[in-house]
Structures are given as structure tokens and as C-alpha cells.
Amino acid sequence: MRAAMLESNDVAAVIFHSRGFLMGLNAETHSKLCYNAMERCSSNVHMHMTDSITLRELALKFDKTIGSVRSSFYNPMLASKASMRVRI
């Protein structure tokens, strides 16, 4: 099936647009074939898919970054010194 997909865009389109169970493929194999079809037929789609995976990994780091930003804005030691400040 993979060889036929590489030879014909029509076969690649059928695999991509059909459900895997209708072709007797498990979900992982169907997903790999769809990815290969996208990679072969459109380099822009492949580039966007790769970028989306990178962004998904970056989004997982947001919570840690948000926590570190909060702690850098408030320092209890500096707050206690500021409360002792005398205004004239």
C-alpha cells in the first residue's frame, strides 16, 4: 500500500481522506501513511506540521515560565525593606 501511495497521488488521496478501519489499517499505521502523503504532496504542509509540534512542546513550558515571572516580580525581602521606608 505504501509503494502504491508513492507511485500515485490518487492512492495517496484515498488513504488520506478515508478512515483507517475502512482500509483494514490500525490507527497508528493510518496516521503514518497520512503523514507520509502530506509530506510527499505538499512540503508546506510538512513544514507547518513540524512547526506545530515544536509549538506544542513550547506551550508545555508556559506554566513554569509564568511561575518564574511571578516570583521575580515579588520579593518578600525587598517588600519588607520598602515598608520601612520613611516618606517626607
What digits encode the pLDDT tens for the residues 35-53? 888 877 776 777 887 888 8
Q: What is the pTM of this model?
A: 0.45
Q: Are 7 and 25 in contact (CB under 8 A)?
A: no
Q: Are 27 and 49 in contact (CB under 8 A)?
A: no
Look over the chain and give the mean of its residue pLDDT values, rounded to a whole number: 80
Q: Is the pLDDT at 66 greater than 80, yes or no?
A: no
The SS3 call for residue 87 is coil
